[in-house]
Amino acid sequence: MEFIKQELVNKLTATKDHLVAEFATVRSGRANPGLLDKILVDVYGQKMPISNLATVTVPDPKQLLVQPWDKANTSHVEKALLEANLGFGVANEGTQIRLALPLLSNERREELVKQVNRLAEDAKVSVRNIRREAFDALNDKASGGGVSDDDKERLKKEWQHLIDGAIENIEQMTTKKSEELRQF
Residue 184 — pLDDT band, cuts 50, 70, 90? low
Selection from 4, 18, 13 nearest residue 158 by Cα: 4
Average pLDDT in the chain: 87
Q: Identify the sign of the CA torsion 16, 21, 22, 28.
A: positive
What are the pLDDT digits (tens) for 65-121?
Answer: 999 998 888 888 888 888 887 778 888 888 889 988 877 788 888 888 999 999 999
Q: Structure pTM? A: 0.69
What's the pLDDT at 87? 75
What pLDDT does 53 receive?
A: 87
CATH topology for 2-24+105-183 is Topoisomerase I; Chain A, domain 4 (1.10.132)
Alpha-carbon distances of 12 from 126, 128, 133, 154, 159, rounded to whole Å: 9, 10, 12, 20, 11
The verdict on domain 33-100 having CATH code 3.30.1360.40 is: yes
Per domain, the residue ranges of the chain are 2-24+105-183, 33-100
